[in-house]
Amino acid sequence: MSVLVDDDSRVIVQGITGGEGEFHTEQMIDYGTNVVAGAVPGKGGQEVAGVPVYDTVAEAAEAEDADTSVVFVPPAFAGDACFEALDAPLDLVVAITEGIPTQDMARVKRAEEETSTYLVGPNCPGLITPDEAKLGILPGNIFETGNVGLISRSGTLTYQVVDSLTQRGIGQSTAIGIGGDPIIGTSFIDALGLFEDDPDTDAVVMCGEIGGEDEEQAAAFIDEHMDTPVAGFIAGRTAPPGKRMGHAGAIVSGSGTGTAQSKIDALESAGVPVGDTPEEVVDNVEDLL
């Protein structure tokens, strides 16, 4: 099985007429994703990569029976694009856009909590169920079908860990890049719950980083609610306190939480082995399976 996306997903690309939107639409289609429509205000009636374009998400969803969207919309307008997808409504919205204003995302997050829609991102690489569908910018060639779920705040770290898993012959059920912004839709806890309920996911890799308390909260969830074993990795062990490192959410306040060590300690206390490198993470996964 898989979580959130599979070969039955019918996908709208918001921003399909832009350079990034068109390029990654072609990549998703080449992978086998069922991209059925694009949505760009004022561009209805066009075609991109053989995909019909509609003026609104609602029109595209109704005409093409779509249930999922991927957002490749510039930051100033991406919040409104997310609202439009939530209003359609769709089952899943994946916001790839980086740099969406935090105030916009705060409003989107409040709106999402009033719906049954899953929002993944923003500032994320997307998600993939190998050999079924990929949504976003993930390099599909490194993924292999299997029984290990993956959740990561970092796109690059996702690729490193997945490539190491695949090289060892360990395939993935679904990989979810949740994004590194301070306000995101799907959290570690949300994604862990999905994998816990998936009978074909036998282990989960959780890749976190410094900043915030999401990993500590996830550790408590794992300890209290999960039977599926989890292996961990935390990036940013040598980062100086008070300095943003890469992601908008990757800043340590110096309060004793949010540091690499506090996250590692919380995970290990919950029985999660934490590797120092992606290769050690894979060693731990092999031990868990």
Q: Which helix (H) or strand (E) holds 268?
A: helix 260-269
Q: Which helix (H) or strand (E) holds 270?
A: none
> What is the mean predicted confidence (pLDDT) over 243-267?
66
| Encoded tokens for 48 | 């991109």
Of 21-25, 126-130, 157-161, minimum mean pLDDT range: 157-161
Residue 255 has pLDDT above 80, yes or no: no
Label residue 259 by pLDDT band (50, 70, 90): confident
- Res 137: pLDDT: 98
| Encoded tokens for 260 | 């690499």
Residue 242 has pLDDT above 70, yes or no: no
**Which CATH superfamily, name and number, covers 139-288?**
Succinyl-CoA synthetase domains (3.40.50.261)
Of 18-32, 125-139, 152-166, 225-239, minimum mean pLDDT range: 225-239
| Encoded tokens for 288 | 């868990």
Residue 250 has pLDDT above 50, yes or no: no
Report angle CA 188, 193, 196 to the nearest 5 degrees.
125
CATH architecture designation of domain 11-120:
3-Layer(aba) Sandwich (3.40)
| Model confidence pLDDT, tens digit, residues 176-206 | 999 989 999 999 999 999 999 999 999 999 9
Residues of the chain with CATH 3.40.50.720: 11-120
E strands, 72-215, in order: 92-95, 118-120, 126-129, 133-136, 145-152, 172-177, 203-209
Residue 281, classified by CB atoms within 10 Å of its CB into exposed (0-12), middle (13-18) or buried (19+), is buried
The C-alpha torsion from 212 through 217 and 219 to 223, rounded to 10°, is 170
225 is catalytic: no
Label residue 155 by pLDDT band (50, 70, 90): confident
DSSP secondary structure of 109-125:
HHHHTTSS-EEE-SSS-
Residues of the chain with CATH 3.40.50.261: 139-288
Contact predicate 228/277, CB 8 Å: no
Identified catalytic residue from 247, 258, 270, 284:
247
Contact predicate 194/173, CB 8 Å: no
What are the CA-CA distances from residue 166 to residues 1, 159, 196, 253 (Å)? 18, 10, 22, 36
- Which residue's structure tokens are 């959780």? 206
| Model confidence pLDDT, tens digit, residues 218-232 | 999 999 999 999 999
Residue 146 sits at φ, ψ, to 5 deg, of -175, -155
- Res 2: pLDDT: 86
How far apart CA 144 and CA 127 sit, in angstroms, is: 13
